[in-house]
Structure 1
Amino acid sequence: MSLPRYLRNIKPNFATPWRAYSSLNRSIPFNFFAGYTVANMTSATFPATPYAPTYDNWPYTDSDFVRYDENDDGVFYRQPRLVTHIDDPSIARLTQYYDTALPKTGRIMDMCTSWKSFYPLSVKEAIQKGGLEVYGVGLNEEEMAVNGVFQGPARWRVLDLNKPPHDVRTAWENGQILQFDATTCVVSIDYLNNPLEVCKKLLEATKEGGNVHLVISNRCFPNKVVRRWMMLDERSRLEFVGDYLHFAGWKDVQIVDLCARDENGMRVTDDQGTVLSPKIKMGNVWVFGILVVLSLRLGAYMYFQRRRNVREKRILEIAEDARAYQRDGWARRKDYEDLLAAYNLFRSQQHLLQSVTDLEMLFFSNVTSWLAPLLGANSWINGFGEVLPPQREFFYVGGEYQNLSVGNTTAQYMVNQIYVEKLTPAKPTQDYPLVFMHGTGQTGTTFLDTPDGRPGWASFFLSHGYTVYLSDQPSRGRSPWLPNTGTMKSSSTALIEQLFTSTSSHSLWPQARSHTQWPGTGKAGDPIFDAFYAAQVQYQADNLISETENAKAYTALLDKIGGPAHIIAHSQAGAYGWRAGDLRPHLVKSIVALEPAGPPFIGRIFGSGPARPFGITELEVAYEPSAGPNATYIQTVVVPARDVNSSECIMQDEPAKQLVNLAQIPVLTVTSEASYHAVYDHCTVEYMRQAGVNVEHMKLRNEGLHGNGHMFFMERNSLEIAEKVLAWLQRH
């Protein structure tokens, strides 16, 4: 068994650097024969030293393998990164090593694979002749689909090895019979949070006499690498990975040195990346998949180096900042502006780079498509390096003139109009816009940014090509309130903490103790809480007035849009979404209800007694047969609670009246794990299903998203949740 150490340039001869498949066999996929030929390279030796275990027993704890970003890896790697994470001379050196180490018959597993495997021509020819099969598991199907070593989709699978059972074979139905002669894994072992189990399973899947080759480098996504990795020096990392293999049961583990050497066989750098040979040239590398910066072209060691040139130095400073931001989280708008500045500087200073290949520019175009939402400006960056902001418009809609007495004077005023902001992406790709409706005490800014400064859902959906409408409810925020129109009410800091930000400290419902995703402490005095609380505004205390005004305003907005739109309604606004859908079913493409007001007919947790006589609303929605005046024809029954963590539900007595207009609209209800809605949202879902509405209930805990509260679209994993909603919208 061998553990390649690190990769360096040995001045290979690149007489024929790329080969197109078209002259060989058109049935072979793109990227199959693309690469460096081994035959023309200077012969090389690969010094190896035996690994010597330091410990008698497995010395590590679970805390050694936690990561800063524990969110689903499938989301992080969703965007294809058509880039090699080590540079060309390093790839050439690794390819040479593979030519001496990999079998030419049997089966190879390429673990944590992507669009390139760096296999030599001899291996690829063996694959083409049928004597060798290569299987692969990775996290991005688009990348694996263009990797020709797999000879088609039957031999690669999307598989997250950080989830049980941590076994590459489980990706195939008959996986337990698969046995491999060798396994390769390039610069990915440091991302595994259960590497011991993975290595044990690999041993079970390896034939007698087989081997595994784990290539490591000091490059990484720091938010995804395991905690202990960032605490170790280079030599200790080698021993760390050696421990994985040793305690998993592998024998004869070796550390193979693939460092770059000059023509005399001498190392060209030391372990700290310092250049020992003056013959090494400067080049360009990709850093962290965010931006292009200048760095030493030294193989797997990619250290940021400061240059005398002021412009180059600025690029490197921003790249270092980007590395810190990715590790510590995005905190300020300035962070995004710095990234944008680095991007623009790269575009204007391309002559500083020795070469930018077509492949790299293709990757850069891919990167910028998802960099845009991180910039905080909802920008689109096109292939020419131009930053195109979204089109921003605002208008007021709805409203009516009324004669009101203010003081001793009666005069005409406009009431119930709402402020609406329309954001149109520079490159719209979606046919149906999104209409966001905020909840109690909030305004349309709720969906713009999170309290800790990260991009909000508006930015996310803009970046996916949706036109977005944000609004302030009547008598809320920028939508004016006039005296004599109901009573205004506000929420205290204590109530906000109990309901939204620090629910685990109060445990007013069973699920509250699971709340972990709110950024910061969630208590007054914490800067993130203070930013959130500062955005809370007064709201209409009378539910009947509020529902009447909002139903009129949002139907007016739908009329102005003129075509079908998706409604995304949160909390209190759930009822307004139902009313808008009921009044304009032909203008509503779907409704996404984020923990909508409920449950039917009664108040729970923060409220008690009768509520919502029409089941889901205070005021009339269309039933067939009719619900009658004030819903007096609806007969109800009580359904006992499912368990101690759930409330009982009030349903219709059978035969149930049908919500004939809402039945025409697909509905997604989203419920978090730790919110007070986790107690009773199932009642709302089951009631609507009984009334004929097509409702899908997305429980975030069932999606692998844990610890969220009622304001989940602001919490730490908010964009991961947005990905789930996006997938549903794109199906409807």
Structure 2
Amino acid sequence: MLSLRTMGSFHVGGRGLVVTGQPKRRITYSKAFADVEYDPNGHYWIEQAYVQYFIPSRLRVPTPLLLVHGGGLTGSVWETTPDGRDGWLPYFLRAGIATYVIDMPERGRAGFCAHEGIWPEAPIVRSEEEAWRLYRFGAPEGFATRTGFPGLQFPLEAATAFARTAVPRWPGNGPMMLAGLEAAVQRIGPCILLGHSQGGGFAMAATIAFPDLVRGCVLVEPHGVPAPEEIARPEPRGCLLVMGDYIERAAEWPPLDAKARAALAGWAEAGGQAEIIELPKQGIFGNSHMPMMDRNSDQVAELILRWLDREHAAGRL
């Protein structure tokens, strides 16, 4: 049973933009509001992040958790799995963890920019073929028949539902997205970051940038992590790295895995508490790059919850 004390949301960060010198044009908003003059010149606010929060009636630990989604995705990845099961958001809430979910700038309900020339690159979106390969659902030649890796935990029968969660992204907006996450951390206050994929790299960077606010971080199959020499002042804070299965069967993943391990080693060398959970070595097999959606998602979440309990018992949260 899930009992909430409160829930809500806010937008944070971003910047003001003044548009001048652009021609007016005729547009149609609706059948009742047609052929009206639209003036694009004026003052706008862009690049803000959107954060939704849920506070359980009874708290397991005093420090809230901020969930950070990966590239080309939104905060919806934490809510419900593609085949309709509860995701990690309700899991952690039922466990008594106050949980915040961010839509990074340019994603989901966060701030976009519709004006030409402000974001110089064209947007991209991940194809189903690319997702199949990068998310380690199966070998590339298995895509046409949707034949996944043996023992795969991802629910391939819901692959279409998962494909609907993909959104456009602008490749050059990494610094802007990190700024949105950092603004959220400053607004929330002391918290723990749990980041997946691109969000894992941002989570580690924000943890380093705000040592007085971020009490620890969980990196779920991260990429874009800081280099070991960039890691400083982790003090005794904990960093947990979670890696799934089939790493050696996807060409992109061995180097990403190596960089994540190097970052974790740099964390430990700088004085932080570093821990890695390799799911196959725990006897947990078949996990894709999307463990929060895999059939055994609760089992993986339980390992993270145990780590949070240990960090709390050690006084680091």
The answer to whether the 8 A contact 2:239-2:264 is kept is no
Q: In the alignment, does 2:152 pair up with 1:516?
A: yes
User: Of the two structures, which has the highest relative contact order with CA contacts closer than 8 Å and spacing of 6 or more?
Assistant: 2
Residue matched to 1:555: 182
Aligned to 1:584: 210
Q: Which secondary structure does the structure 1 equivalent of 2:80 belong to?
A: coil
- Choose the corresponding residue for 1:436, options 40, 43, 67: 67
Look up the SS of the partner of 1:469 in the other structure.
Answer: strand
Q: How far did residue 537 of structure 1 move?
A: 0.8
How far did residue 573 of structure 1 move? 1.2
- In the aligned structure 2, how far is the partner of 1:597 from the partner of 1:683? 8
What is aligned with 1:535?
A: 165
Match of 1:234 in 2: none
2:6 paired residue number: 391
Q: How many angstroms apart in 1 are the aligned matches of 2:136 and 2:284? A: 17
Q: Report if the CA contact (8 A) 2:103-2:109 is conserved.
A: yes
**Residues 397 and 553, structure 1, Cα contact 8 Å, conserved in 2:** yes
The reply on whether 1:403 has 2:15 as its aligned counterpart is no
Q: Distance in 2 between matches of 1:398 and 1:470?
A: 15
CA contact (8 A) 2:136 2:246 kept: no
State the partner residue of 2:285.
Answer: 706
Q: Distance in 2 between matches of 1:683 and 1:436?
A: 22
Give the alignment's Cα RMSD to 1 decimal: 2.4
| Preserved CA contact (<8 Å) 2:204 2:219 | no
Residue of structure 1 equivalent to 2:124:
489
- The one-letter code of the counterpart of 1:571 is S
Q: What are the within-5 Å matches in structure 2 for residues 16-31 of structure 1?
A: none
CA offset at residue 665 of structure 1?
A: 2.8
Where do residues 233-252 of structure 1 align in structure 2 (5 Å cutoff)? none
Task: Give the superposition deviation at 1:390.
Answer: 5.4
Q: Output the amino acid matched with 2:137.
A: S
Question: What does the per-residue CA deviation read over 1:349-390, in whole Å, with 9 as the maximum and x for residues that have no partner?
Answer: xxxxxxxxxxxxxxxxxxxxxxx2xxxxxx23xxxxxxxx55
- Structural mapping, 1:75-474, within 5 Å: 372=1, 379-380=2-3, 389=4, 391-404=6-19, 407-408=22-23, 410-474=41-105
How many pairs are equivalent?
A: 280
CA-CA distance at 1:427 after TM superposition: 2.3
CA distance in 1, matches of 2:234, 2:297: 28
Measure the CA separation in 1 of the matches of 2:111 and 2:53: 19
Say which SS state the counterpart of residue 498 (structure 1) adopts: helix
C-alpha distance 405-531 of structure 1, shift in aligned 2 (>3 A): farther
Choose 1 or 2 for highest CA Rg.
Answer: 1
Q: Report the CA distance between 1:597 and its aligned residue.
A: 0.5
How far the C-alpha of 1:507 sits from its partner, in A, is: 7.6
CA distance in 2, matches of 1:403, 1:514: 54
What SS does the aligned partner of 1:430 have?
coil
For residue 503 of structure 1, give the secondary structure of its aligned residue in structure 2.
coil
TM-score, L = length of structure 2: 0.81
In the TM superposition, residue 391 of structure 1 has moved relative to its aligned partner by 2.3
Partner of 2:239: 667
Secondary structure of the corresponding residue to residue 585 of structure 1 = coil
The C-alpha deviation readout for 1:190-230, integer Å capped at 9, x for no partner, is xxxxxxxxxxxxxxxxxxxxxxxxxxxxxxxxxxxxxxxxx
Q: Gapped runs of 5+ residues in structure 1?
A: 1-371, 373-378, 381-388, 522-527, 601-613, 617-656
Q: CA deviation at 1:710?
A: 0.2
**1:405 Cα shift?**
5.1
Q: Deviations over 1:540-577 (max 9, x none)?
A: 221xx32x212221222122122x21100000112211
| CA distance in structure 1 between the aligned counterparts of 2:209 and 2:234, rounded to whole angstroms | 9
Partners of 1:573 and 1:556 in 2: CA distance: 15
Report the Cα distance in structure 2 between the residues aligned to 1:555 and 1:391, rounded to whole angstroms. Answer: 23
Cα distance in 2 for partners of 1:501, 1:711 equals: 9
CA contact (8 A) 1:514 1:673 kept: no
* 2:193 aligned partner: 567
Shift in CA distance, 687/441, structure 1 to aligned 2, threshold 3 Å: closer
Q: Which residue of 1 aligns with 2:260?
A: 684
Q: Secondary structure at the match of 1:597?
A: coil
Q: Residue in 2 aligned with 1:224?
A: none
Deviation at 1:504, TM superposition (A): 4.0
Q: How far apart in 2 are the matches of 1:699 and 1:469?
A: 26
Secondary structure (helix, strand or coil) at the match of 1:489 reads coil
Q: Which stretches in structure 2 are left out of the alignment for 5+ residues?
A: 24-39, 312-317
Instruction: For residue 712 of structure 1, give the secondary structure of its aligned residue in structure 2.
Output: coil
In the TM superposition, what whole-angstrom CA distance separates every residue of 1:127-167 from its partner, at most 9, and x where no partner exists? Answer: xxxxxxxxxxxxxxxxxxxxxxxxxxxxxxxxxxxxxxxxx
* 1:596 alignment partner in structure 2: 222
